[in-house]
């Protein structure tokens, strides 16, 4: 079961990262989004590209950082990948995402959802960094898992959007909801897993 979960993690993370790299690297900006979103993208193209490609870095690196084999056999590579993940992926991507959240399609509900996601993404990344600097390896791992659950919002967003279209939900209604739905269940699931694991150890 664990191997299936890990395989799905790699599949979706690398799949969405590849999709985003193709869309933002080879297609005209905003060509696959709602017309009103396209106007915002074009007006803030530098921020959009910065957020997109920094987030791709985070999506790609993240799964490999959870590899016990990599940590044990290539500790220096693990550390350098971690620095790249936190600085380029989370910090740069998060700040650009926070900026772009103020122009998100869907009104104040969507803007607040994406803004809070960006703030928590940066915050959990900072907590992970502080923990590892203090030598608290278990806490570092927990914060990194929380952080990557927020990184994974990029995947869930791209799963929920087509699902809402198939369900016949109007985009104007679906998008503000997905601005929250793409990340809140992720972090809840992670915390539930922690509590369950702690309870099982106590028994």
Express each pLDDT in 48-69 by its tens digit: 999 999 999 999 999 999 998 9
Would you say residue 202 has pLDDT above 70?
no
198: how many CB neighbours lie within 10 A of its CB?
9
pLDDT tens for each residue of 184-198: 999 999 999 877 766
Under the banding of pLDDT at 50, 70 and 90, the label for residue 151 is very high
Domain that holds residue 33: 2-202
pLDDT tens for each residue of 93-136: 999 999 999 999 999 999 999 999 999 999 999 999 999 999 99
Q: What is the pLDDT of residue 132?
A: 96
Q: What is the pLDDT of residue 200?
A: 62
Would you say residue 76 has pLDDT above 80?
yes
Alpha-carbon span 66 to 85, nearest angstrom: 12
CA angle 141/76/64 to nearest 5° reads 50
How many independent structural domains does the chain possess?
1
Lowest-confidence range among 24-28, 81-85, 199-203? 199-203
Q: Is the dihedral of CA 130, 90, 151, 58 positive or negative?
A: negative
φ, ψ of residue 183 in degrees (nearest 5)? -130, -30
Q: What is the pLDDT of residue 199?
A: 54
Rg for the chain (alpha carbons), in Å?
17
């Amino acid at each position: 079961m664990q191997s299936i979960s890990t395989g799905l993690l790699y599949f979706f993370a690398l799949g969405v990262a590849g999709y985003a790299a193709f869309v933002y690297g080879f297609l005209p900006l905003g060509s696959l989004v709602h017309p009103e979103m396209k106007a915002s993208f074009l007006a803030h193209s530098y921020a959009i590209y910065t957020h997109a490609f920094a987030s791709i870095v985070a999506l790609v690196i993240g799964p490999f950082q959870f590899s016990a084999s990599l940590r044990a056999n290539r500790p220096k590579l693990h550390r350098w990948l971690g620095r790249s993940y936190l600085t380029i992926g989370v910090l740069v991507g998060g700040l650009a995402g926070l900026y772009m959240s103020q122009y998100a399609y869907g009104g104040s509900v969507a803007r607040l959802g994406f803004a809070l996601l960006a703030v928590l993404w940066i915050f959990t990344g900072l907590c992970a960094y502080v923990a590892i600097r203090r030598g608290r390896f278990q806490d570092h791992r927990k914060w990194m898992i929380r952080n990557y659950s927020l990184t994974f919002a990029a995947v869930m967003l791209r799963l929920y959007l087509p699902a809402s279209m198939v369900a016949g939900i109007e985009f104007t209604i679906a998008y503000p909801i997905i601005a929250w739905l793409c990340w809140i269940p992720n972090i809840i699931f992670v915390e539930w897993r922690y509590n369950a694991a702690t309870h099982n150890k106590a028994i």
